Structure 1
Amino acid sequence: MTNLFSQFELCFPQLNSSCRKLKRPHSDTLLINSVLSFTSLLTATLNLLVIISISHFKQLHTSTNLLLLSLAVSDFFVGFIMFFQIFFINGCWLFGDIMCLLYVVLDYLITSVSIVTMVLISIDRYLAICDPLHYPTKVTPKRVRICVSLCWICSLFFTTALMNENLKRPGRYNSCAGECILVFNFIEQFADFILTFIIPITFITVLYLRVFVVAVSQARAMRSHITAVTLQRSERVTAKKSEMKAARTLGVVVVVFLICLCPYFFFTLSGQDTLLHAPSAIFIMCLFYLNSCLNPIIYAFFYPWFRKSVKLIVTLQIMKPGSCETKIL
């Protein structure tokens, strides 16, 4: 019996009710820790650059950038929360039941805000491209602030409603000390699947496809009005490049969103997400978090102002008096 007991380690050796640590080769553990730490740091850093850029430079205080700011804030905290996934690698949660519940609540809240903000961005781009004449009056900074506030408030309400049973008694589903388990019934999982996956991806896909169709039709209309042969050929090349760039950008947005979110929601809908420290769950959740790392790349790195502002931030030019008035656009 002594030899059998020595084959594993306990999360809390002083407790007989302690969970067992998952045994992995040291090289595998080191690799997983390194990847998670790097992704967490990269996610936080990229989104922090977006936050500083939009907050500091007054020229960037536009309606669209307010949405990007909200997205960056939520994704920044996703990077912070992702760091705690490292503590699930060995199968032990060392911070108690309250912190476990707080971790999962913040996880659901922040990722929900990130997804809803992506929907708001798609609506903003739809109105800007498909209804440009009325866009300045329909989309104002005040209305955007209201929408962003409602986004955070509704996400908090949805998260607390989803966690209702788990909030009543933290740790009620743990079978041993060192576990972090939350259980959701089928209705809760289905509601989460519909409200945070089906509806958002439908909105994003439909609106962006509409934007692409309008952009292509506008480009063709411009070509049809060109009479000079030389100019017509030049315009045709330019329009062709614009169409390809729009298709590529929209394709990246939708495909990345699907790749990162589909596995997570299908996994949770199957009811297998109760063990947050299981290897498959760790991989799927990290893939889910990866979307927050890619968001600033997709939505911000495509903008020249972001590259310029990053240079000013890295070189500490923003520390100079009056730097907030710098022309970025």
Structure 2
Amino acid sequence: MKTDSRSISPGWVIYTVLEVLIATACCIGNALVVCAVCVGIRGSLREPTFCFLISLAAADFLVGVAAVPLAVLLDGWASLTPDLCLLLSCVVLVLTQASVLSLLAIAVDRYLRLHTPLRYKDLATQTRTWLAVAVCWALSCLLGFTPLFGWHNYTTQVAGATNKSSSSSISTPCTFLSVISLPFMVYFNFLGCVLAPLLVMILLYARIFWSLQGRLQDSAPQARALLLRERRLARSLALVLLLFAVCWIPLHSMNCMLLFHGPEAVTQGTLYAGILLSHANSAVNPVVYAYRIPKIQQAYSQIWRHFLMGLGCCHGDERIQRACSTGNRPNHTEMCGSGGKTTP
């Protein structure tokens, strides 16, 4: 691999700096989510929703570790063989697909929990849940690596190449759309692998909210509190879905414009903005979890408490120590943690 000698523009510098910030936020935020769910919430790994949230957080973490660096690299700054360029480009597709399928699994889980309450515990066992997570990632790899089986551009990338063996051995500046076919991105990836699951999820959540609204009107006071908690969690998860759609639809729309109207339809700056927005989705999700899901709120506060204690803050800062011992401050739970258990 050798670095391409392109000129560096101010716009590219801004784009790269923002990508670095987004990647850092993705890694820190989603690592915190996984830690909070696995360590801070008792029995969370026995609850399907949290298992699927871990899967989504893992995909978002890998966006920061792999997808963002690859997005910068696959902008023509490295000369790679077409085979390697295609492989690295497919990794980005795999991570996107893993996020979509994890969101779909969450929606199906909430639907089954609400509409099959008597059979739910038998259906959503821990073994079946993790099997579903494994199936999501296996399907993501299968769908994301589809271009490797022949639906790609790179046979026409190298000028003067007369056969496949010679074209695959020549290093050229690697860009995503030089090896990934636009018809593949629009017809297969967008319409089939992203938009279709999004429509299914919208229908599922519409059915969930419609059913909850009806049950809340007819429920007894004892059951009302449980239904309200279920609705709050469903709203939080639906918000995650909405943010995914808002962040990813613009980039896919640009691919459609490029396919139907040519390269002049989308400027480089607009394309950079779409890429940044899609990556920012992975950094925003941990913030949504923190503000919208009480169990994760409590787990975050516990992690924060242990972090402060590890730094000696609860022993060195008299104000924090006094709050921890007396609990007189209104935000005592947030500063010092709580041993109690909240429900979603």
- TM bucket normalised to smaller: 0.7 to 0.9
The aligned amino acid for 2:20 is S
Kept in 1, the 8 Å contact 2:151–2:184? The answer is no
Aligned AA (2:174): E
Query: Where do residues 25-104 of structure 1 align in structure 2 (5 Å cutoff)?
Result: 25=10, 28-57=11-40, 58-62=42-46, 63-80=48-65, 81-87=67-73, 92-94=76-78, 96-97=80-81, 99-104=84-89
Offset at 1:138?
1.6
- Tell me how far apart the structure 2 counterparts of residues 282 and 171 of structure 1 sit (CA, whole Å): 26
Contact 2:4 2:79 survives alignment (8 Å):
no
1:156 aligns with 2:136: no
Contact 2:24 2:64 in 1 (8 A): yes
Among all aligned residue pairs of Structure 1 and Structure 2, give the percentage whose two residues are the same amino acid. 20
Answering whether residue 203 of structure 2 is matched by residue 206 of structure 1, we say yes
Q: Does 1:283 align with 2:278?
A: no
- Equivalent residue number for residue 244 of structure 2: 257
TM-score normalized by the length of structure 1: 0.73
Q: Which amino acid aligns with 1:178?
A: P
Taking a change above 3 Å as real, the CA distance of residues 66 and 243 of structure 1, as seen in their structure-2 partners, is closer
Q: Which fold has the larger relative contact order, with Cα–Cα distance below 8 Å and residues 6 or more apart in sequence?
A: 1
Segments of structure 1 that go 5 or more residues without pairing to the other structure are: 1-10, 14-19, 227-234, 320-325
Does structure 2 conserve the Cα–Cα contact (< 8 Å) formed by 1:190 and 1:269?
Answer: no
The letter for the 2-side match of 1:131 is: T
Count of residues in correspondence between the two structures: 290
Length-normalised TM-score, structure 2? 0.70
Inter-CA distance 300–210: structure 2 relative to 1 (3 Å threshold): farther
- 1:323 alignment counterpart: none
Q: Would the aligned equivalents of 2:98 and 2:137 in 1 still touch at CA under 8 Å? A: yes
Distance 1:174 1:263, change over 3 A: farther
Residue by residue over 1:117-171, the C-alpha shift from the partner in whole angstroms, topping out at 9 and shown as x without a partner, is 100001111122233222211211111111111111111112222332378x968
Q: Which whole-Å CA distance do the structure 2 matches of 1:318 and 1:99 have between them?
A: 47
* CA apart distance, 1:282: 2.4
Q: Which runs of 4+ in 1 moved over 6 A?
A: 241-244, 273-277
Local SS of the residue matching 2:128 = helix
Partners of 2:213 and 2:103 in 1: CA distance: 23
* 2:292 is the alignment partner of 1:302: yes
Amino acid at match of 2:272: I
Question: In structure 2, do the counterparts of structure 1 residues 102 and 316 end up closer, same or farther at CA, with 3 Å as the change threshold?
Answer: farther
Verify the 8 A CA contact 1:40 1:82 in the aligned structure 2.
yes
Is the aligned partner of 1:219 residue 2:216? Answer: yes
User: Counterpart in 2 of 1:192?
Assistant: 189
d(CA) in 2 for partners of 1:277 and 1:94? Answer: 22
2:244–2:281 contact (8 Å) kept in structure 1: yes
Mapped pair 1:178 → 2:163: no
Structure 2: gaps spanning 5 or more residues: 160-170, 311-338
Partners of 2:91 and 2:102 lie apart in 1 by 16
Q: 2-side partners of 1:248 and 1:110: how far apart?
A: 24
- Aligned Cα RMSD in Å? 3.8
